[in-house]
């Protein structure tokens, strides 16, 4: 090859014929150089994002390190006494970290099952025409600014929760738990009587066990419902409020990403399961979900990160009180999160650059940054792995 081209140049020169497409060495070199430099410029611009990520880590860490140098790690992670303005100040962030975990978990508890089921519904159950109307709803949920959600949580939802929170909780409990328990009773009574062979005896026992389990379930429903109705909610700006609102903000992410994962599972798998006589629910739960599980996991991580990183809603509607609720799972108490603390305390700390009070907020930012980086990394790995598995590598 190289030989022939070298030979060529000579040949062209010898014959004096100007070739159509073979250009001089110098021109070709110039072409190559301009091409490479153009590509290099593009690469430089494209790597701007990577540079920004590095800078974010560097500059947040640069202002976070002085805090740990001044105060060490122990207080920040183990104490829940947050009195940055006292003399001497105390920077125990445990309760704040716990608050972040609490609302994140709370919103995940609502958003993950709902989001996954909704995405299944979108990809496998609803016909295309209906899907076209559902998509804009999800897009709108995602588009509404967080401060608008925060305003809603503070001005509309919090008073509602404070005044009629008990009845709301009771009705929610009934609406959700009653059908679930009913199904559970039907399935359980059938499973209990499955080993019995004789026909009349089986029917009677089936009925008896259904009635017995049913009345147990009803009692359970009633007593939990009554307890919920009797709850006194001291403040509407609490962890429950924030968790509910955050869950609706995390939903669009979860739905759209896990829908992609479900779509990536091919038709063949589904048809194979249907052909074996499985119902749609069985096909989805036993065949499609396992195949898409890693993609859905990635979706869940992304959705949870959205809730953890959200600032405005928690700042406006969490109550901002830095303490660990008593008991620790009491979602009806006010809490405070990392994001809200950063947003809220910077105003007071801003002026005195260099103080521990300023740097502790960067330490919190660094904590958030590291958590988001790690979970992003994990979800990305998961997605890559799923793609590999699905493409059979």
Partner 1 sequence: MNLGTRKLLDRSFTALGIGSIIIMGLALLVVLVPIVSNGIGALVFRETVEHRKLLLSEFHRGDAGDLEKELVISNGYRQKAFDILAAFDRELEQMEPERQEVYRESYEQVRTALRVLLGPLPGEELPELTRFRYGQTRWDKAEEKLHDLLYEQKWDYSNPDVIAKPNDVSRASIFAGTSLVRLFPYVEENIDRMMMPQWTIYWGFITDSSLDSHFFGGIWPEIQGTIFLAIGAMIFAFPLGVIAAIYFTEYAREGFLNSLLRSANSTLAGVPSIVFGLFGLAFFINTLHVSESKSVLAGSLTLAIMILPTIIRAAEEAILSVPKTYKEASLGLGSTKWNTIMTVILPAALPGILTGGVISLGRAAGETAPIIFTAAVSVGTAIGLGDVLSSPTPALSWNIYNLASEHEAAAQIRHVQYGMVLSLVMIVLLLNLSAVILRARISKKLKG
Partner 2 sequence: MANALEATERKQNDKSTARDIYLPPERKKVSGGGAPHVSAKNFSIYYGEFEAVKKVNADILSKYVTAIIGPSGCGKSTFLRAINRMNDLIPNCHTTGALMFDGDDVYGKFTDEVLLRKKIGMVFQKPNPFPKSIFDNIAYGPRLHGIKDRKTLDALVEKSLRKAALWDEVSDRLDKNALGLSGGQQQRLCVARTLAVEPEILLLDEPTSALDPKATAKIEDLIQELRGSYTIMIVTHNMQQASRVSDYTMFFYEGVLIEHAPTAQLFTRPKDQMTEDYITGRFS
Contacting positions for partner 2 (CB under 8 A) = 1-2, 4-6, 8-9, 11-12, 19-25, 27-28, 31
DSSP state of 125: I
- What tokens were used for 282? 């069985």
187 near partner 1, rule: CB under 8 A? yes
Nearer to partner 1, 16 or 145 (CB): 145
Pick from partner 1, partner 2, none: which does 331 bind, CB < 5 to 8 A by kind? none
CA 358 to chain centre: 29
Pick from partner 1, partner 2, none: which does 353 bind, CB < 5 to 8 A by kind? partner 1
Plot region of 235 (φ>0 → left; ψ -120 to 50 → alpha; else → beta): beta
Nearer to partner 1, 109 or 191 (CB): 191
Please pick, from the candidates 4, 18, 74, 353, the single residue that binds partner 1 as defined by CB under 8 A.
Answer: 353
Please pick, from the candidates 214, 376, 385, 387, the single residue that binds partner 1 as defined by CB under 8 A.
Answer: 376
Nearer to partner 1, 25 or 186 (CB): 186
109 near partner 1, rule: CB under 8 A? no
Build a one-symbol-per-residue string for 289-308: x at contacts with partner 1 by CB under 8 A, - elsewhere: -------------x--x--x
Nearer to partner 1, 70 or 180 (CB): 180
- What tokens were used for 104? 């994140």
Please pick, from the candidates 161, 288, 310, 334, the single residue that binds partner 1 as defined by CB under 8 A.
Answer: 310
Nearer to partner 1, 56 or 196 (CB): 56
Query: Strand, helix or coil at 188?
Result: helix
Contact call for residues 165 and 241 (beta carbons, < 8 A): no
Contact call for residues 320 and 336 (beta carbons, < 8 A): yes
Pick from partner 2, partner 1, none: which does 4 bind, CB < 5 to 8 A by kind? partner 2
195 near partner 1, rule: CB under 8 A? no
Angle at which helices 239-264 and 356-390 cross, to 10°? 30
- What tokens were used for 153? 């949580």
Please pick, from the candidates 248, 273, 287, 332, the single residue that binds partner 1 as defined by CB under 8 A.
Answer: 248
Smallest separation (angstroms) from partner 1 to the CB of 41: 9
Contact call for residues 262 and 292 (beta carbons, < 8 A): yes
DSSP string, 62-101: HHHHHHHHHH-SHHHHH---EETTSSS-EE--HHHHHHHH
DSSP state of 354: T
Candidate ranges 81-89, 209-217, 258-266, 336-344; the one touching partner 1 (CB under 8 A):
336-344
Nearest to 307, CA basis, from 105, 94, 118: 105
62 near partner 1, rule: CB under 8 A? yes
Smallest separation (angstroms) from partner 1 to the CB of 195: 13
184 near partner 1, rule: CB under 8 A? no
DSSP state of 337: -
Nearer to partner 1, 156 or 389 (CB): 156
Candidate ranges 8-16, 54-62, 222-230, 286-294; the one touching partner 1 (CB under 8 A):
54-62
138 near partner 1, rule: CB under 8 A? yes
Number of residues this chain uses to bind partner 1 (CB under 8 A)? 91
Please pick, from the candidates 276, 281, 352, 389, the single residue that binds partner 1 as defined by CB under 8 A.
Answer: 281
Non-local CB neighbours of 382 within 8 Å, separated by 6+ positions: 294, 295, 297, 298, 301
Contact call for residues 342 and 364 (beta carbons, < 8 A): yes
> In angstroms, rounded to a whole number, what is the distance separating the alpha carbons of residues 158 and 168?
12
Please pick, from the candidates 33, 43, 109, 164, the single residue that binds partner 1 as defined by CB under 8 A.
Answer: 43
> In angstroms, rounded to a whole number, what is the distance separating the alpha carbons of residues 60 and 366?
6
């Amino acid at each position: 090859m190289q030989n022939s081209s070298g030979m060529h140049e000579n040949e062209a020169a010898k014959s004096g014929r100007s070739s159509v497409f073979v250009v001089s060495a110098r021109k070709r070199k110039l072409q190559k150089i301009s091409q490479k430099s153009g590509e290099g410029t593009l690469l430089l611009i494209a790597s701007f994002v990577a540079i920004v990520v590095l800078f974010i880590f560097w500059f947040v860490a640069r202002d976070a390190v002085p805090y740990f140098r001044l105060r060490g790690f122990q207080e920040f992670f183990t104490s829940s006494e947050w009195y940055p303005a006292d003399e001497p100040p105390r920077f125990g962030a445990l309760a704040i970290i716990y608050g972040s975990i609490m609302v994140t978990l709370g919103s995940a508890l609502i958003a993950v099952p709902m989001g996954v089921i909704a995405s299944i519904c979108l990809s496998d159950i609803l016909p295309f025409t209906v899907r076209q109307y559902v998509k804009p709803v999800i897009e709108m949920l995602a588009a509404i600014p967080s401060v608008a959600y925060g305003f809603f949580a503070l001005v509309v939802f919090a008073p509602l929760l404070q005044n009629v929170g008990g009845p709301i909780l009771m009705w929610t409990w009934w609406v959700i738990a009653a059908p679930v328990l009913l199904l559970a009773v039907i399935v359980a009574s059938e499973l209990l009587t499955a080993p019995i062979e004789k026909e009349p005896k089986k029917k009677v026992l089936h009925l008896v066990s259904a009635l017995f389990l049913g009345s147990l379930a009803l009692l359970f429903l009633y007593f939990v419902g009554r307890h919920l109705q009797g709850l006194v909610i001291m403040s509407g700006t609490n962890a429950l409020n924030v968790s509910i609102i955050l869950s609706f903000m995390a939903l669009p992410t979860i739905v759209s990403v896990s829908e992609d994962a479900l779509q990536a599972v091919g038709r063949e798998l589904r048809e194979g399961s249907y052909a074996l006589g499985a119902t749609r629910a069985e096909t989805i739960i036993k065949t499609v979900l396992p195949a898409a599980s890693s993609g859905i996991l990635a979706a869940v991580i992304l959705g949870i990160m959205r809730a953890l990183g959200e600032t405005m809603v928690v700042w406006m509607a969490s109550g901002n009180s830095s303490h660990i609720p008593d008991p620790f799972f009491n979602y009806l108490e006010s809490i405070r999160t990392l994001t809200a603390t950063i947003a809220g305390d910077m105003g007071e700390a801003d002026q005195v650059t260099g103080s521990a009070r300023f740097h502790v907020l960067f330490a919190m930012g660094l904590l958030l940054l590291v958590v988001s980086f790690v979970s992003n990394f994990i979800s990305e790995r998961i997605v890559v792995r799923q793609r590999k598995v699905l493409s059979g590598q």
